[in-house]
Structure 1
Amino acid sequence: MIDLDDTDRALLRALAMDGTQSAGALGRRFGLSQPATWRRIKRLEEAGILRGLRVEVDRAALGFGVTVFLGVKLAAKGRVGLEDFERAVSAIPEVQVVQHVLGLFDYRLRVVARDIADFERVLRRRIMTLPGMGQVEANVLLTEERRLGPLG
């Protein structure tokens, strides 16, 4: 782990909001030269703190108006390997995120669908037929706010 100063944290906050900003623009904003800003960004990348740029896709604009978080408890962990479940669930295009978690459920899935009827189809035909499926709990996303986490 590297030591971060206030400028590093400010750069991280700015890049988290808009990763397309140039080193020159960021440098002007924070009183650094373009090369100094670039060196800081490279140092953060090499330390594994910055791991590339991401594009945020508006799912609703693409016709996916429903997001559901599923808690999944596997029925038979001994007979069906976790890797088998992860491989099978990762092959479902509507499943955007697969998280192996500790607690009441074994997995947390983020599933997108066009509408509730489409979600029901995905749930019944794809998710509930996965190897080792047991208990499932669904939570429909109403709103979402972007948070910067510990840098905020």
Structure 2
Amino acid sequence: MIALDEIDRGLIRALAEDAQASAGALGRRFGLSQPACWRRIKRLREAGVIAGARLDLDHAALGFGVTVFLGVKLATKGRVSLEDFERAVSAIPEVQTVEHVLGLYDYRLRVVARDIPDFERVLRRRIMTLPGVGNVEANVLLSEERRPGPV
């Protein structure tokens, strides 16, 4: 873990808001030269503090009007490895995230679909046929409030 000063924290907040901000613009904002700002960002990346940049897509604008969170409980943990399930579920394009969790379910999935009948097709033909799937609980996303930025 590297020590972070106020400028580092400010850079992280600024990049969380706009990952494409230039080192020159960020340097002007935080009183640094462009090369000094670039070196700080590079140091944060090399230390793993900044793991990458992400593209946020508007699923509805792309025709995916339904988002469903699935809790998946594996039925046969001994016979089917977690890696087999993770590999198979990650190959389904509609599955946006796969989270191995502790609690009532073994996995939490974020699934996008065009509409409810499309989700039903994905559920029946793809997810329920995965190795080891037991119980599944679905929660349809009604709205999403998002607070961008680091912790």
Report the TM-score, using the length of structure 1 for normalisation.
0.95
Gaps of 5+ in 1: none
In the TM superposition, what whole-angstrom CA distance separates every residue of 1:21-59 from its partner, at most 9, and x where no partner exists?
100000111111111111110110110011222211111
Moved beyond 3 Å, runs of 4+: none
In 2, Cα distance between equivalents of 1:149 and 1:138: 28
Q: For residues 112-131 of structure 1, what are the structure 2 equivalents within 5 Å?
A: 112-131=112-131
Identity of aligned residues (%): 79
**AA matched with 1:146:** R
8 Å CA contact 2:12, 2:150 repeated in 1: no
**AA matched with 2:64:** F
Tell me the residue number matched to 2:133: 133
**AA matched with 2:118:** D
Tell me the residue number matched to 1:64: 64
Over the aligned positions, Cα root-mean-square deviation in angstroms equals 1.0
**AA matched with 1:96:** Q
Q: Cα distance, 1:149 vs. partner?
A: 4.1
Q: How many residues align?
A: 150
Q: For residues 69-88 of structure 1, what are the structure 2 equivalents within 5 Å?
A: 69-88=69-88
Report the TM-score, using the length of structure 2 for normalisation.
0.95
Tell me the residue number matched to 2:53: 53
Gaps of 5+ in 2: none
